[in-house]
Chain A
């Protein structure tokens, strides 16, 4: 009985009927060529990108001229271009750009430097790190821009308040990232240093700081964007100069073309700073490796 059952289960057909050849039982195999991705050459990619941009601007211009797009709310490329020219020739464009640039850079530097140092300082005492951590996390989750009106009251309408907001936005990112670096140090590496008779200061200078440098560097690009955001928001709330104030002012006076101009200049500034910081980052990275 059992023998028969097992043989049936195993699919072996009893002697009477011959089993079909195994091959015919197999499902048809799917055989096909390896899919190949085709990469366009660089000029084709860039050409398409420029084409899209030109088409978008042309559509905007034509649409505004023929009334498909409300030129009052959206303005139009030709008007924006004219405003751009006046902005640079007649207005105090460079005062505004300089103001925004200064507050961004100063906030970026203060925030990144103090954040990195704060993060590194957590290595010195686990108790201190444990005590400080909830406060840091609270400050991180806090929407810091919500504090902007308060910051303006405390630091005034000038540069300082913008710097303060930019600093507040960047400092936490640097602190947390650097602290993550500190925590990632291999305890065995530390033990090696101590086995060589190292002091705490030697471990800090020769191991912790160089180990965390890539972490510190990795937030530079994020921080420059955050610092710019902070500076602009500060200018939105109360300021006498800056691209942010320019945008707010233009919006309030329905000068939409000027809004676009200011946004355009602001984006250019952001790109220039981002590229510069990326370049510094790559240089530093190379320096750290060697």
Chain B
């Protein structure tokens, strides 16, 4: 814990003024993530996951607290982290290759250099033969790959993934998880991953943060210290199931309290 954190959230909170009073979207959240770790956030909808991501990405100014990246205050600064939203958001008028280099292009890398850098990666990571196609010709899984490579090619140490596989079918989802783990071990990025899928969260991460609503907050941080590489069968081990049960317990409790409050 005393290892200098790559990404640190210090009492980040978010409140909105509504006609009905002040709405607390996010109670002060404190989180420290070390370099190269893979952590997940799970929680019911409305628990402030997206708000938190927008704050970390600098797209939303928090009502309180700071976002510290590499020891530098990055609150409200854009371009410090790679952010992949739920939708792939590929530009339909650009080829897959030109979509992937968007981040570099915006950062001022000359087009040809950016393309030269991206091309081998596209080929290595499952998009060989698709480089010069338009996104409309790609399947959901392929589009998601392109979007993720775009996030990676932006070349920040921290990447935020907001339910990247949420819309994929179960089979594709499993493939994409393996693919993501491959990328993660190759690139050594620090990943913050949001999902609704408990099993996905535990399978992928070093640490699962369970969130709750009203106000949005992290209720518990559960370490998932299962040895890597993890075979698929790991999901059947008692260790895995124990973590899963704990997560479910917390989520159900959060759900019940939300229902009680509503009633």
Contact = CB atoms under 8 A, between A and B. Distances in A.
Interface size band for A: 10 to 19
A195 B89 contact: no
18 contacts: A188-B85, A192-B89, A193-B102, A194-B58, A194-B78, A195-B57, A195-B79, A195-B82, A196-B78, A196-B79, A196-B102, A196-B154, A197-B103, A197-B107, A198-B78, A288-B93, A289-B92, A289-B134
Given A193-B106, A210-B91, 16 more contacts: A186-B87, A189-B89, A191-B59, A192-B85, A194-B78, A195-B58, A195-B78, A195-B79, A195-B82, A195-B83, A196-B103, A197-B80, A198-B78, A206-B106, A289-B93, A289-B134
B89 A188 contact: yes
* Residue among A188, A192, A193, A288 with the highest chain B CB neighbour number at 10 A: A192
A142 B46 CA distance: 47
Contacts of B54: 191
Dominant secondary structure of chain A at its interface with chain B: helix
Contacts of B105: 206
B106 A196 contact: yes
Contacts of B103: 196-197
Interface string A46-87: 000000000000000000000000000000000000000000
Interface string A138-177: 0000000000000000000000000000000000000000
Interface size band for B: 20 to 34
Contacts of B85: 188, 191-192
Interface in B64-83: 78-83
Contacts, number: 55
Interface of B: 54, 57-59, 78-83, 85, 87, 89, 91-93, 102-103, 105-107, 134, 154
Interface of A: 186, 188-189, 191-198, 202, 206-207, 210, 288-290
* Residue among B82, B103, B106 with the highest chain A CB neighbour number at 10 A: B106
**5 closest Cβ contacts across the A-B interface?**
A197-B79, A195-B83, A196-B103, A198-B106, A195-B57
A210 B106 contact: no
A83 B215 CA distance: 84
A195 B59 contact: yes
A249 to B, nearest CB: 50
Given A195-B59, A196-B79, A202 B106 contact: yes
B78 A210 contact: no
Nearest to A192: B89
Contacts of A186: 87, 89
Contacts of B87: 186, 188
Contacts of B80: 197
Given A188-B85, A289-B134, A290-B134, A196 B107 contact: yes
Contacts of B93: 210, 288-290
A279 B58 CA distance: 45
Contacts of B92: 289
Contacts of B83: 192, 195
A197 B91 contact: no
Nearest to B53: A195
Contacts of B102: 193, 196, 206
Contacts of B82: 195
A12 to B, nearest CB: 42
A189 B88 CA distance: 9
A290 B83 CA distance: 26
A44 B87 CA distance: 49
A197 B89 contact: no
A103 to B, nearest CB: 34
